[in-house]
Amino acid sequence: MVVGAGVAGLSAARILRDSGISVQILESKDRIGGRAYTDRDTFSVPFDHGCAWMSGGPYNPLVQFADDNGFECIARFYPVLEDKTFIGNVGSGWVTDEEASERDCYLEDSYQAIAAAGRERHDIPITDIIDTKSAWAHHLNNYLAAVQGGYSDQISALDFANSQASGDELHLFDGYGTLIERFGEGLPVQLSAAVTSIDWSGEGVKISSSKGIISCKVAIITMSTGVLAANRIRFDPGLPENTRAAIAALPMGRLAKVAIQFDRQVYGSFTDDGFNYYDSPGTSLNVITGYADSTMAVAYVGGTPADELEALGKEGAATFLLDRLETAFGSKLRQYVVATDCTGWGSDPDVCGSYSIALPGHAGAREALAEPVANRLFFAGEATSKHHYGFAHGALLEGRAAAEKVIALLA
């Protein structure tokens, strides 16, 4: 049995099926894909609520899968902290070239310090190794909240340094969620089957769900660490201490996306793909101003403000973004709005967040969570990936690794 039809669960099931092992996937939602979900109805172009950029590195099997299945993609550079920045909370406006140069030097120094900490295996908070008194420290902190889901004092410098990425970031015109739907086609998935308990007290495993009780030899569990930490699934007997400790050390970060469709290009002479809006020491937005070559604006907000945006609802979140777009561009944009949306992963009980963070001192928790429990329970997902956590391909590779362990066990 595989619990969860996200990327990790689908990957594991494909490997098991192709090896001749009987497999069934239980999924609580009424769709497959997990945190890979494309909305193809609200806007003029597909909008990915979850993972959106496909890493083009040679380690990513989904690149070849996309090519084999006719998915069109393009390499795009979208907002990171080094982009143009607008400081709105004190009326400073757009940063000057000189200020941007100072910012970029600070970022380079910070990244070098993190890399050095990684080489020296220092499993400490990022705040211990960067200049936290710099005027640009808050900008880096807010950026890390968006790309890592947590703030610099919550993130293990070693875990951050372990992350590997290379190659272009690819935008899939049909959506990353659409690609994962194709990846899961033909697999044996029972939808709307919320798992409530897993009994591994005997020789095998008994899984209770809203669809009944199923017995199996081995279970691969791909639920997020947020769901596991919330005890939404009861384990009998309880999980071993090292597994529970690993789950606690890998809490779910927060990321919210706010999307607005305009009926025209509304940014005047501004022609860049995106910019950063610095709102306050605790909040900034990475804004794409021409999402997928459309008239959409999509803002990424990480950390605590992501929860606050979700709580505002779709209309409130859109107003939050519109207020800042109008401040940055000095014009009234609301009259041109035709559609809005806001993601809600933090409040989704089947996910409970965006992606996992390794707390300082716990970079080894990812590998600890991947350790089999009594050779009957195998945990897999982006949270167990040492080098590709937070990515869809990381989840895929971990699902594959878990399946290979099961194949070796049952052979």
Please compute the mean of the pLDDT values over residues 35-57 and round it to a whole number. 95
Q: What is the pLDDT of residue 89?
A: 74
Question: pLDDT for 212-265, tens place per residue?
Answer: 999 999 999 999 999 999 999 999 999 999 999 999 999 999 999 999 999 999
What percent helix, strand, coil does the chain show, rounded to 5?
35, 20, 45
Lowest mean pLDDT among 57-61, 150-154, 282-286: 282-286
Please compute the mean of the pLDDT values over residues 49-64 and round it to a whole number. 93
> What is the pairing mode between strands 212-216 and 2-3?
unpaired
Closest to 242 measured CA to CA, from 381, 366, 131: 366
Q: Are 150 and 144 in contact (CB under 8 A)?
A: yes
Number of alpha helices (DSSP H) and beta strands (DSSP E) in the chain: 11, 21
The pLDDT of residue 167 is above 80: no
The rounded distance, in Å, linking the Cα atoms of 297 and 312 is 18
Amino acid at 388: H
* Consecutive H or E run containing 236: strand 234-236
Confidence of residue 78 (pLDDT cuts 50, 70, 90): low
Q: What is the pLDDT of residue 90?
A: 66
The rounded distance, in Å, linking the Cα atoms of 20 and 261 is 47
**358-277-280-89 Cα dihedral, nearest 10 degrees:** 180
Question: Judging by beta carbons within 10 Å of its beta carbon (0-12, 13-18, 19+), is residue 21 exposed, middle or buried?
Answer: middle
The pLDDT of residue 3 is above 60: yes
Question: pLDDT for 279-333, tens place per residue?
Answer: 877 788 999 998 888 999 999 999 999 999 999 999 999 999 999 999 999 888 9
Longest dimension (CA), the chain: 68
| Percent of the chain clearing pLDDT 90 (strictly above) | 80
The pLDDT of residue 79 is above 60: no
Tokens 């709307």, residue located: 192
CB atoms within 10 A of CB 234: 12
Q: What is the pLDDT of residue 81?
A: 62
Confidence of residue 166 (pLDDT cuts 50, 70, 90): confident
Question: pLDDT for 20-37, tens place per residue?
Answer: 999 999 999 999 999 999
Q: What is the pLDDT of residue 126?
A: 96
Q: What is the pLDDT of residue 269?
A: 83
Which DSSP string do the residues of 305-319 spell out, in sequence order? HHHHHHHHHHHHHHH
Q: What is the pLDDT of residue 282?
A: 76
Question: pLDDT for 175-190, tens place per residue?
Answer: 999 999 999 999 999 9
Q: What is the pLDDT of residue 331?
A: 84
Question: pLDDT for 347-363, tens place per residue?
Answer: 999 999 999 999 999 99
Domains of the chain: 2-33+184-251+357-410 (3.50.50.60), 85-167+255-342 (3.90.660.10)
Quote the crossing angle between the two packed helices 7-18 and 392-410, to the nearest 10°. Answer: 40
> Which residues have a Cβ under 8 Å from the Cβ of 298 and sit 6 or more positions away?
47, 257, 258, 259, 260, 287, 288, 291
Confidence of residue 91 (pLDDT cuts 50, 70, 90): low
Q: Are 11 and 19 in contact (CB under 8 A)?
A: no
Q: What is the pLDDT of residue 324?
A: 93
